């Protein structure tokens, strides 16, 4: 079985406005967590809408057991680590760029 996609993230230079947009258009419930909106779409995978650390982008996260192992596989196959492994109180994650430059996230399974 493959690694599942378990989270999406929309990063924006105006996160509050984008959160309001998705609430109005799709009826999503968005809970504020210090400026980062935790999204409940009412089904499917959950996500977040928050401030951009760089350009605005949409990222999905793939759940894996060992972030280091997968970042090594990414680099062995032409990708590049963009955000090294980071631990937060809520999640441990990393991001990589695939060989075409698309930024994808990895999240450590619990």
Which residue reads 């963009």 in tokens?
A: 82
Does the reported pTM lie above 0.85? Answer: yes
CATH number reported for the structural domain that contains residue 16 in this entry: 3.10.180.10
Average predicted confidence (pLDDT) for the chain: 94
Number of domains in the chain: 1
Structural domain for 24, as ranges:
5-108
Confidence label for 69 from pLDDT (cuts 50, 70 and 90): very high
b/e 60-93 (16+ beta carbons within 10 angstroms → b): ebbbbeebeebbeebeeeebebbbeeeeeeeeeb
pLDDT of residue 110: 80
At residue 67, the 3 state secondary structure works out as: helix
């Amino acid at each position: 079985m493959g690694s599942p996609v378990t989270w999406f993230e929309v990063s924006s230079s105006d996160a509050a406005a984008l959160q309001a947009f998705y609430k109005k258009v799709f009826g999503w419930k968005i809970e504020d967590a210090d400026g980062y909106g935790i999204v409940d779409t009412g089904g499917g995978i959950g996500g977040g809408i928050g401030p951009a650390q760089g350009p605005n982008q949409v990222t999905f996260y793939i759940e894996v057991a060992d972030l280091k192992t997968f970042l090594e596989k990414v680099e062995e196959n032409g990708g590049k680590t963009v955000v090294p492994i980071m631990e937060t109180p809520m999640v441990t994650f990393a991001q990589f760029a695939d060989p075409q430059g698309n930024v994808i996230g990895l999240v450590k399974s619990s």
